[in-house]
Structure formats: structure tokens, C-alpha cells
Amino acid sequence: MKRRVVVTGLGLVTPVGIGVEQTWEALCAGKSGAGEITHFDASAYSTRIAAEVKDFKPQDFIPKKDAKRVEPFIAFALAACRMAVEDSGLVIDSTNESRVGTITGCGLGGLSFMEDTVMKVAQKGPRRVSPFFIPMMIGNMVPGMISIHFGAKGPNSSLATACAAGTHAVGDSVRLIQDGTVDAMITGGSEAVISPTCIAGFGSMKALSTRNDEPQKASRPFDRDRDGFVVGEGSGILIIESLDHALERGARIYAEITGFGMSGDGYHMTSPPPDGSGAVRCMQAALADAGLDHSQIDYINAHGTSTELNDLYETRAIKTVFKEHAYSLAVSSTKSMTGHLLGGAGGIETVFTALAVHADTIPPTINYENQAEECDLDYVPNTVRKTRVQHAMTNSFGFGGTNATLILSKYSQ
């Protein structure tokens, strides 16, 4: 039998707060983290808004020397990891270091540093390139630095499955615990790519909102007037363990991870199929893995990007999977507040889903003002909802048609 897997520690660095408490309070209050871009001069861009992390000081979480040697996506993850480890009370030492591993997701890595270095080579020549260029840029340096800083010497890897990366990382970590390879995993996702080429690239695809005059209203998943997503940054890290391991050390349990599903669309580089069939197979796989009927799901933390096609096709997929129950369950997109963290989205949204289960609280979809023709589900518009959440699902769908779904359930013996 598969070992049961539970969530025992949480850490967050997000556009709406540093730490779990601050972020969760902001979500429940319907606070947006979007604003004018400050990371670079975006005045010439069609999109001049993003959801940036505010008031983050890496030296508060990692040594000053290391803070100067890591890109923000790594610093965000190390900070979130420190919070999660401290929250869990997990001690990693010589007695268990090989039984604790790390898998994280990251979509684009140190893109900003790459941009700066390319310009430096072009303007000043190759001798001006920093010896830290490669290690500061590559995505797998997140689990690498986590291993170095926290002593986890078990399985160590990084996933780059676009916007599904963080959720895939958690799912793969769950399976390592289930099969007995490890006892605990540090997992989640991180991203920090509010940079010129990122904004220009997504902008050229017409994927970003251009509601520059109202940045806090720009991300409006499922709303009739949505016009694209808002790029976000940050990190969400979880400590997950086998149930036996958590009980043996008396750990607090937020939720149990009961299901994981994956699928591929096999359809288009960037667009999901109109019938949402890839998402359908993914959600159905997670339900089967959890041994749950579709009618048992109380809440879906949707991918909900605020783009025209994603929100419509995800809604169609939910209706296909959940049938008449689709109109009874709650569906919300926290991207309406945090923006879209790309490869880091699954990390923070798995944390949000664990908190929803733990606190019996569903964060809202803010900026939902006008119903779209087919987007007619209960999107928890604008106001937090207190209600029992026994089983919750979180979806992440990425470019290339890569999909991931997790199911988290209230822990019971």
C-alpha cells in the first residue's frame, strides 16, 4: 500500500505578503498585489504592470554573502523554505539527511541576469561576465541551494514544465514518499521574471493585460472583460512527510495530499484544446488516484489565468468532469490577487489549497464583476467564504500542453 502523505510546513513569499500569515490575510481580504512595474523602465511597453514582491530583504533569511550571489528566484525560495522548515519543526541532521529530498519547479530561471549578461557581453566583451553567471541563472540551483543551506541530501531535482512546474514538483515529491524512497520532501516552486524580455515576449503574444491605468483590477479571471494575465513573482514551499513520520515526531498536519494527476494536451504550443480534454484527463486522474468521486470535491483552486481561452476552456473541463456538481462546488482563482507566477504558481497555490482545507476558508476571485457567457460557475466572487472544505483540488496548466492536478484533503486518522 502507498504511504499516506501529509503537509506539515508552509512558507510563502508573494506579491501580497512575506510569510504565510501576511499573505493569507491579504488573500482573505481580497487584496491585489498588482501595480506599476518598478524593476525596469516599462514606459515603452504595451503592458506596464505586474505583481511584484514588496519589502523583501534576502538578508533576513540567508547570509549576506549568499544574498549577493543568488538571483531573486533563488532568494525567494530560500526564504520560503526557511519559513516552511521552521513552521514544520523538521530537524534535518546526520541521522536523516539522506531521507529528506528536494524537488522544486521553475519556468524560466534567472532570466533577468541572463538579459543583463547578454548586454554586458555585447557592450564590454566576454571577460566582463561574472563567474556566478551560470549558477545564478539555472533553475536547478533552487533545490541545490536548499540542499546546501538546509542539509537535505536525498533526491534533488528541478522541473521546468512551464506553468505546471510547481504542481508537478509537489506531485513527484509525493510519489517519492509514497514508495518509501524518502520520509520527507521540501517542495514547491519559485519564479522571478518581471523583466524586459519576459514582458515583451508575453506582450507580443497578446497574453498580458493592458489595463495599465487600473493595475489592481487587471487580473480578473473568468470575468467577461478579462484581457490577459498579470505576471507575478515569488515562491511557495511546502514540507511534506509520510504520515507515520509526521505522527512519530508530533508534527502539526495542515492537510493530506490524496491525489495527483498529470496529462498532456497533444494539441498546440500555447493554447489548450477548446473542449479542455487535457485538463479533463488530468483532473480525472487525480480523482482516481485519490479514490474520490467527483461529487466529493468542495473547492477548486483554478489555474484561472485571466486570459480569454484558459478561463473558458478550464470552465468547460470542470463541467465535463464534475457534471451537475460543477454548479455546487466553489471555484476561485487566487491569481486575481497574486498575478501569475508562471513556474512558481503551483507552489503558492498548493500552499493556498492546504490553507483552505485547514482553515475551512475559500479565498475569493476578485475583480469578478460581469458574467461571461459560458463562465457561469460559482467563482467565489470578491468576498472570502467560510465553509467546510473536506476535499480540494488545485490545477496548473502549462505551455506545451502540460497539465498537473493535486487533491488535498482534511486529515483524519
Residue 30 has pLDDT above 90, yes or no: yes
3 Cβ partners below 8 Å, 6+ apart? Answer: 177, 178, 179, 180, 242, 243, 244
The model's pLDDT over 121-147, given as tens digits with 9 standing for 90+, comes to: 999 999 999 998 998 889 999 999 999
The one catalytic residue in 245, 340, 358, 391 is 340
Q: Does domain 1-413 have CATH number 3.40.47.10?
A: yes
| Predicted pLDDT at 370 | 97
| Predicted pLDDT at 65 | 87
| Predicted pLDDT at 363 | 98
Could you give the 3-state DSSP secondary structure of residue 185? strand
| Predicted pLDDT at 136 | 87
The answer to which of 66-70, 193-197, 323-327 has the lowest mean pLDDT is 66-70
The one catalytic residue in 28, 106, 163, 282 is 163
283 Cβ partners below 8 Å, 6+ apart? Answer: 261, 317, 318, 321, 393, 395, 405
The model's pLDDT over 198-254, given as tens digits with 9 standing for 90+, comes to: 999 999 999 999 999 999 999 999 999 999 999 999 999 999 999 999 999 999 999
The model's pLDDT over 68-123, given as tens digits with 9 standing for 90+, comes to: 889 999 999 999 999 999 999 999 999 999 999 999 999 999 999 999 999 999 99
Residue 162 has pLDDT above 90, yes or no: yes
124 Cβ partners below 8 Å, 6+ apart? Answer: none
C-beta atoms surrounding 49 within 10 Å: 27
- The DSSP result for 56-91, as a single string, is --GGGTS-HHHHTTS-HHHHHHHHHHHHHHHHHT--
Please confirm, yes or no, whether 303 is among the known catalytic residues: yes
The one catalytic residue in 106, 168, 282, 303 is 303
Please confirm, yes or no, whether 163 is among the known catalytic residues: yes
The model's pLDDT over 236-245, given as tens digits with 9 standing for 90+, comes to: 999 999 999 9
Could you give the 3-state DSSP secondary structure of residue 155? coil
* Secondary structure E strands in 160-246: 184-191, 234-242
Could you give the 3-state DSSP secondary structure of residue 271? coil
Q: Give the three cell numbers for residue 150.
A: 538546509
| Predicted pLDDT at 261 | 98
Please confirm, yes or no, whether 358 is among the known catalytic residues: no
Could you give the 3-state DSSP secondary structure of residue 371? strand
What's the mean per-residue pLDDT of the chain?
A: 97
The model's pLDDT over 261-293, given as tens digits with 9 standing for 90+, comes to: 999 999 999 999 999 999 999 999 999 999 999
142 within 8 A of 190, measured Cβ to Cβ: yes
